[in-house]
Structure 1
Amino acid sequence: MNKYEEGLQLIEETFGNGKDNNISLATVARELGTDENPIPVVRIVDAYYENCTFYVVTYAKSNKMLQIEQNPQVSIAGCLEMFTATGVAKNLGWVLDPKNAEIRSKLRTAFAAWYDMANNEDDENCCILAIRLAKGTLNVNHWEKLYHMDFVNKVDMESGGIF
């Protein structure tokens, strides 16, 4: 097993296996700051992880989705784990769209304790956000071992990643 595969296995063990994960999701505001620079915006979301992608059930008209519509480049961080990554976010559409049936079932299972209380599936703006990872760094045991991962090319980046 190479270093990329080893890191991917650790990510799967940490975030995968049907877990409900809290991650920080950073987007870019739709308006510029007073100094005319982009404003980063971060929030905690519940996410399900599978195959280098985090999935979130959200509302299509929320600020984060409007920001993603304007700029799909996002960053995430594991709230309890030392994992940071960049990626591309995409609105997969209404949770009840037949094309979303398989992932919806997984999300309902992972988020079973609160899913129905927090989501109105009858509202077509109740949607699934997919965050496809691009590059990331997994920090194991406070710098004991670092995995700088390129999820697109499926390789470890020896020259460093993101922190």
Structure 2
Amino acid sequence: MSKYENAIKLMEEFCGNGKDNVVALATISLSPNDAGNPRPAVRMVDAYYEDGVFYISSASWKNKTLEIEKNNEVSICGLDLFTAHGIAENLGWVKDEKNAEIRAKMKKIFPWFDDHGGEESPDSIVLRITLTEGRITDNEKKYGEWQYKVDFVNKTAK
């Protein structure tokens, strides 16, 4: 197996297979610092991972969604497992027909979704984070490497 294939296998083991992942999602805040410069905003979110993409349930009025509308470049990380950059996209209302498959997975993966997903409101949306690059750490060195620098776009790893 190639380094890239090993790295992707690790991501699937860490985050995939229908797991509810609590990850940190960083965006660029809409309010600058005192010097007028952009500043980061980070929060913990529930997400599920599949094929290089994280899916997150949110609301259209939340800061993260508004920040993503302004700048869709984000960072995401899982404690001691991976750090990555990605492109975020608002897929719209969770009950929109185009989101039916994602919604079904969210209902299955997130035990809180039926009670707290607010899916009857059109403000209840799906965010998709498509990973572009990152580092995956394998503390057990299962596949020989401790860390993989991954280019998800070109499907390579060093």
**Which range, TM-score by smaller chain?**
over 0.9
1:45-67 deviation digits (Å, cap 9, x = unpaired): 00010010000011011000000
Q: Which runs of 5+ in 1 are unaligned?
A: 159-163
Give, as a single letter, the amino acid of the residue that structure 2 aligns with 1:126: S
| Further displaced range: 113-122 or 40-49 | 113-122
**2:75 aligned partner:** 75
Give, as a single letter, the amino acid of the residue that structure 2 aligns with 1:119: G
**How many Å separate the matches in 2 of 1:38 and 1:14?**
32
**1:94 aligned partner:** 93
Give, as a single letter, the amino acid of the residue that structure 2 aligns with 1:121: E
**How many Å separate the matches in 1 of 2:153 and 2:36?**
32
**1:138 aligned partner:** 136
TM-score, normalization: structure 2?
0.94
**1:109 aligned partner:** 108
Q: How does 1:29-44 map to 2 (within 5 A)?
A: 29-44=29-44
**2:153 aligned partner:** 152
Task: Tell me by how many angstroms 1:20 deviates.
Answer: 0.2
The percent of aligned pairs where both chains have the same amino acid is: 47
Q: How does 1:12-91 map to 2 (within 5 A)?
A: 12-79=12-79, 81-91=80-90
TM-score, normalization: structure 1?
0.91
**How many Å separate the matches in 2 of 1:13 and 1:107?**
19
Task: Tell me by how many angstroms 1:117 deviates.
Answer: 1.7
**How many Å separate the matches in 2 of 1:27 and 1:57?**
16
Kindly report the root-mean-square deviation, in angstroms, between the aligned alpha carbons of the 2 structures.
1.3
Give, as a single letter, the amino acid of the residue that structure 2 aligns with 1:104: R
Task: Tell me by how many angstroms 1:142 deviates.
Answer: 8.0
Task: Tell me by how many angstroms 1:118 deviates.
Answer: 1.3
Give, as a single letter, the amino acid of the residue that structure 1 aligns with 2:128: A
Task: Identify if the C-alpha distance between structure 1 residues 114 and 133 changes in structure 2 by more than 3 Å, giving closer, same or farther.
Answer: same
Task: Tell me by how many angstroms 1:140 deviates.
Answer: 1.5
1:102-145 deviation digits (Å, cap 9, x = unpaired): 1111111000x211221111100100000000001011118961
Give, as a single letter, the amino acid of the residue that structure 1 aligns with 2:42: V
Report the 3-state secondary structure (helix = DSSP H, G, I; strand = E; otherwise coil) of the residue aligned with 1:65: helix
